[in-house]
Amino acid sequence: MDIQTLTFIIVGLTFALYIGIAIWSRAGSTNDFYVASGGVHPVANGMATAADWMSAASFISMAGIVAFAGYDGSVYLMGWTGGYVLLAMCLAPYLRKFGKFTVPDFIGDRYYSQTARTIAVLCAILISFTYIAGQMRGVGVVFSRFLEVDIATGVIIGAIIVFFYTVLGGMKGITYTQVAQYVVLMFAYVVPAVFISLMMTDHFLPQTGFGATIAEGVPGEGSYLLERLDGLSKELGFAAYTEGVRSKIDVFFITAALMVGTAGLPHVIVRFFTVPKVRDARRSAFWALTFISIVYLTAPAIASFAKVNIFNTVNGPDLQGVEYENAPSWVKNWEKTGLITWEDKNEDGKMFYSGDERNEMTIDRDIMVLANPEIADLPAWVVALVAAGGVAAALSTSAGLLLVISTSVSHDLLKRNLMPNITDKKELLYARVAAATAIIISVYFGIYPPGFVAQVVAFAFGLAAASFFPAIILGIFHKRMNRQGAVAGMVVGILFTFCYIVFFKFVSPELNTPEYWLFGISPEGIGTLGMIINFVVATIVHKATGDAPEDIQELVESIRYPKGSGEAQSH
């Protein structure tokens, strides 16, 4: 059976499974829709959180960015993993103790301010739309290759699927759908890596394979894989794979932005309201980190295998180039999507891929994981499984983000602010209407994204780091922090970060080089500076305007000791 048919069958079966779960777990109340009635087991919640977390950026683009950036790409692995440790230690149990549905709900009540709530809603929506653009782009990349449609059509197909089970099932449907999606994407990520590791190094574990010697019969046999990759990279005009080119300060700021951004992402935080007890919030974070590590620890191996195989198959074992007429099938397949292009500059009829003036090809980094099984000439069912995993990763996170947008509008903006007297039924209706509106907007950003998947997502982390993280940390650990300080910090932090990113990415992209960056910090890392500015502004304004009221300080004291809590409350 060919790849196309197998892909239709496997992806179709996973879609049927997701939709079936959504119908089975249909939300009947706002409590079901927002937090799955707070009854999810910690292991299931950890698995769902892992699926929610391992978006298209993790599944599709992370190994790609490591493959292209080498050592510098490790910031994504360190930042995204370390963020969960921060989340488990500093945020999850306290927010669960507080017992509100959403982050804006916490900020609004903790800072006794509808203005703070409204600003938090706007921040949540901005962050979520920035994040969801990367997910929709990921869906389009997957479908453009494996369903043989253009990226725009692929985005629309994915949007229809995710809209169906988000609007129907809410958090309850999303949670159990994401458990299934995690299983799919985990196998889709790990199985090809095991195959390729055995083929290239005779090691079963990819994590040891990419540090081992190359197997007999493979180009470069007998040498260490990473030494071979470094040698090929230098010979072809790229930076050595194991050496970084970013400055240490930029690496630090990007890693920190990804870490604190993780702890401030609204679609991740809301997952800790779905468990019965405060203790279960910590357990959920532990299980989430465990499930995430299975994939994250495999990414460097996938990146290394893919880069070596690309050099070998495009440039040939002798690095003289391969005749285009004899190009491997994966090149021709991905050319149809426009994500690989070839221009015969020297008119010799041969492809050549390099990092200097000899280069004749462009290879989109977002295809690395998806194309990896084809590059390694693995069985067709493995290729189809990877397609299903890529779709699962993108759809799972898209669903969580849509839920954040819909609840931010219906619950935080309408129910808790503009329309406090609406019924439970009306609130649920408004949530679904908001999700429908959000999906339409996200389709546009998916078709016209402001960068490759992981880069777009990195901007969302920067915005979360600069806005939510300081407000939540101060709200938990600084009982005297008042509303004026929190509001001022959030506004200044997110405006600074947003303007910096927009300037270098859209207004003057030609200036997006280290010599023009503030303190040598790239747009991907500026969220850390935005966070620092947020803390400083909040502290200064607090000192000038006095302490929070006594009842608020007592409330903070009560959540500082997370022993026992009731169900998540809507008011």
CATH code of the domain in which 307 resides: 1.20.1730.10
- The answer, yes or no, to whether residue 35 has pLDDT greater than 50, is no
Per-residue pLDDT tens digits for 138-195: 777 777 766 677 778 878 887 777 776 666 555 556 677 778 878 888 888 888 889 8
Looking at residue 456, its pLDDT comes to 63
Looking at residue 36, its pLDDT comes to 46
Mean pLDDT highest for which of 55-69, 86-100, 328-342?
328-342
- The answer, yes or no, to whether residue 496 has pLDDT greater than 90, is yes
**Tokens representing 318?**
């002798």
Residue 297 lies in a domain: yes
Residue 287 lies in a domain: yes
Residue 5 pLDDT level (bands cut at 50, 70, 90): confident
Looking at residue 571, its pLDDT comes to 44
Cβ burial of 310 (10 Å; 0-12, 13-18, 19+) is buried
Residue 569 lies in a domain: no
Per-residue pLDDT tens digits for 366-404: 777 778 888 888 888 888 888 777 777 766 667 667 777
Residue range of the domain that includes 174: 3-560
% the chain with pLDDT above 70: 85
Per-residue pLDDT tens digits for 180-192: 878 888 888 888 8
Residue 571 lies in a domain: no
Write the CA distances from 181 to 12, 55, 230, 415, integer angstroms. 13, 11, 36, 32
Residue 503 lies in a domain: yes
Looking at residue 101, its pLDDT comes to 60
If DSSP states are collapsed to H, E and C, what string results for 390-443? Answer: HHHHHHHHHHHHHHHHHHHHHHHHHHHHHCCCCCHHHHHHHHHHHHHHHHHHHH
Looking at residue 25, its pLDDT comes to 58
Identify the three-state secondary structure at position 351.
Answer: strand
Crossing angle of the two packed helices 368-375 and 299-315, in degrees rounded to 10: 60
Sign of CA dihedral 314, 75, 282, 538: negative
Single out the residue of 214, 171, 134, 199 nearest to residue 394, CA to CA: 134
Structure letter (DSSP) for residue 56:
H
The mean pLDDT of 225-240, rounded to a whole number, is 87
Residue 565 lies in a domain: no
Looking at residue 538, its pLDDT comes to 95
Single out the residue of 10, 16, 81, 62 nearest to residue 389, CA to CA: 10
> What number of helices (H) and strands (E) belong to the chain?
24, 4
Looking at residue 482, its pLDDT comes to 93
* Between 149 and 482, the higher pLDDT residue: 482
**Tokens representing 306?**
């893919």
**Separation CA 342–CA 362 (nearest Å):** 7
Single out the residue of 498, 505, 449 nearest to residue 60, CA to CA: 449
Q: How many domains does the chain have?
A: 1
Sign of CA dihedral 33, 35, 40, 46: positive
**Separation CA 162–CA 27 (nearest Å):** 15
* Between 262 and 309, the higher pLDDT residue: 309
**Separation CA 269–CA 161 (nearest Å):** 24
Per-residue pLDDT tens digits for 7-19: 778 777 877 777 7
The mean pLDDT of 493-521, rounded to a whole number, is 88
Looking at residue 167, its pLDDT comes to 63
Residue 568 lies in a domain: no
Residue 352 lies in a domain: yes
Identify the three-state secondary structure at position 350.
Answer: strand
Mean pLDDT highest for which of 57-71, 92-106, 411-425, 475-489?
475-489
The answer to whether residues 14 and 384 touch, using CB atoms and an 8 Å cutoff, is no
**Separation CA 296–CA 70 (nearest Å):** 15
Residue 480 pLDDT level (bands cut at 50, 70, 90): very high
Q: CA angle 507-154-187, nearest 5°?
A: 105
Helix locations, 25-113, DSSP H: 30-35, 42-53, 56, 63-69, 74-86, 92-98, 103-110
**Separation CA 72–CA 66 (nearest Å):** 7
Averaged pLDDT of the chain? 79
Residue 541 pLDDT level (bands cut at 50, 70, 90): very high
Question: Per-residue b/e over 544-569, b at no fewer than 16 CB within 10 Å?
Answer: eeeebeeebeebbeebeebeebeebb
The answer to whether residues 142 and 60 touch, using CB atoms and an 8 Å cutoff, is yes
- The answer, yes or no, to whether residue 106 has pLDDT greater than 90, is no
**Tokens representing 266?**
């609204």
The mean pLDDT of 236-260, rounded to a whole number, is 85
Residue count (the chain): 571
Structure letter (DSSP) for residue 547:
P
**Separation CA 312–CA 318 (nearest Å):** 8
